[in-house]
Amino acid sequence: MEDLLNAFFLMSNFVFVPAIAYGSQLALGAVGVTLVYGILRFSNFAHGDIMAFGTMIVILFTWLFQSYGINLGPLPTALIALPFGILATAIFLLGSDKFVYKFYREKKAVPVTYLIASVGIMFVLNGIVRFIIGPDDQRFADGERFIIKAKAMKQYLGTAEGVSIKVSQGLTVVTAVIVVVALFWFLNKTRTGKSMRAFSDNEDLALLSGISPDKVVSVTWILVAILATIAGTLYGLDKSFKPFTYFMLLLPIFASAIVGGLGNPLGAIAGGFVIAFSEIMITYPYKKFVAYIVPGDWKPEGLVQLLATDYKFAVSFIILVLVLLFKPTGIFAGKSV
């Protein structure tokens, strides 16, 4: 009985809790991608670097506040810096729309043109972020580190294994829930939100109904700024900020959006968790877990690991390829790619 409890704690500590946190971060990123795909009708390859840009601004303001001695007690100071990051990112995105995407909209370009343009914006952001903050790891988390410590739990319960829950992980889940609820309220209950869903559904009919395409485009980019900055900041608080890592997040984020069904925000959230859990569960060494479950002589020799952790991104990639091959519209039947 105690062995089963230990097995559960082990899985929670190394798989469930990290996967839920990572899944929330991917979910927020994927919703941003899926909104652009559904409403603006193109794949935004710059999304990872938009997250990096937003997080960079948050980090700079966090350092500023920390130097002034401003802090939030047990919570990270980055939370106060968040609105500044969102504002800066929103300005950048609206600017990029005005100077890049609008040109192609007027020419009625095909979607792949916007995709390539977004790759260009990706490179520009790549350069800007590295130029301002450098290519190295940056840590900006402060405040309390843990909500629950595994050691304390082990002592309290007398078990061999315990569960750690970091403040950043708890914050991720709480923030993600708040953001998602707010987004769905906006899309389903407000006039502007409904007009954006209508625009995504049937663009010609939306224009005939008097819906202003410029307003829909602007609001979409502002939502992307909010989602990307929050997702990037939560990821940076949880792990660390490194421009290259954020660029690499593009793969699992797109995989999440596609698995859930492009254009469908609910799908993006579900997809985020599917990818996160898959990545972590497929690369986790189950040796200790199996040892707790099976009787003594059956203890495994090797690590019982399906794929080495180096292959984490390969998992996202394989899932992406399988979904595109067998069910391209995704779980929630969004628009196919």
Contact pattern for another protein over residues 177 through 196, marking x by CB under 8 A: --------------x--xx-
Q: Minimum CB separation from another protein for residue 209, in Å? A: 5
Q: How far is the CB of 118 from another protein (least distance, A)?
A: 25
Nearer to another protein, 129 or 211 (CB): 211
Any contact of residue 207 with another protein (CB under 8 A)?
yes
Q: Taking the complex as a whole, how short is the minimal distance between the CB of residue 30 and another protein, in angstroms?
A: 19
Candidates 67, 68, 69, 208: give the one binding another protein (CB under 8 A). Answer: 208
C-alpha span between 288 and 86 (Å, rounded): 43
As a whole number of angstroms, the distance between CA 39 and CA 214 comes to 12
CA torsion through residues 119, 120, 124, 127, sign: positive
What is the DSSP track for 266-326?
Answer: HHHHHHHHHHHHHHHHHSS--HHHHHHHS-GGG--SS---SS-GGGHHHHHHHHHHHHHHH
Going through 134-212 in order, the beta strands assigned E by DSSP cover 146-148, 165-166
Do the Cβ atoms of 259 and 251 come closer than 8 Å? Answer: no
Q: Where does this chain touch another protein (CB under 8 A) — which range of 57-65, 129-137, 168-176, 205-213?
A: 205-213
Q: Tell me if 205 contacts another protein by CB under 8 A.
A: yes
Q: Please identify which residue in 79, 80, 198, 331 interacts with another protein, judged by CB under 8 A.
A: 198
Q: Tokens for 116? A: 């390539």
Minimum CB distance to another protein smaller for 250 or for 270: 270
**Burial of 193 from C-beta contacts in 10 A (0-12 / 13-18 / 19+):** middle
Residue 201 found at the interface with another protein (CB under 8 A): yes
105 binds another protein (CB under 8 A): no
Whose Cβ is closer to another protein: residue 102's or residue 215's? 215
Using rule CB under 8 A, residue 197 touches another protein: yes
User: Contact positions toward another protein, by CB under 8 A?
Assistant: 191, 194-195, 197-198, 201-202, 204-211
